[in-house]
């Protein structure tokens, strides 16, 4: 296994794990949001605001991983 093959593998695994993390996190938040709106439709505005805040916060770390693995560590 040469260095460039190892680089490509590392990039692929890193990006895949980042996408997995973002997907699961966003899915959990959104499912709770839909459940909350189903229980009380009047709260949709406030819940949706919180959902977008949470999605932005949760996606921060996978995005950091993406930027680091994709552009910093592969040079």
3-class state of residue 40 by DSSP? coil
The interface mask with another protein, positions 33-52, x = CB under 8 A, is: -------------------x
Residue with smaller CB distance to another protein, 17 or 64: 64
Q: Where are the beta strands (DSSP E) in the chain?
A: none
Query: Taking CB under 8 A as the rule, does residue 60 contact another protein?
Result: yes
Instruction: Describe the crossing of helices 3-39 and 60-67 by its angle, rounded to 10 degrees.
Output: 170
State how far the Cα of 6 lies from the Cα of 24, in Å rounded to an integer.
27
Q: State the minimum distance, in angstroms, from the CB of residue 2 to another protein.
A: 26
Pick one of 46, 56, 73, 74: the residue that binds another protein (CB under 8 A). 56
């Amino acid at each position: 296994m040469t260095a460039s093959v190892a680089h490509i593998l590392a990039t692929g695994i890193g990006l895949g794990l980042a996408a997995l993390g973002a997907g699961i996190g966003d899915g959990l938040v959104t499912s709770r949001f839909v459940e909350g709106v189903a229980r009380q439709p009047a709260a949709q505005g406030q819940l949706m605001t919180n959902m977008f805040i949470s999605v932005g916060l949760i996606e921060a770390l996978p995005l950091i991983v993406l930027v680091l693995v994709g552009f910093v560590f592969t040079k």
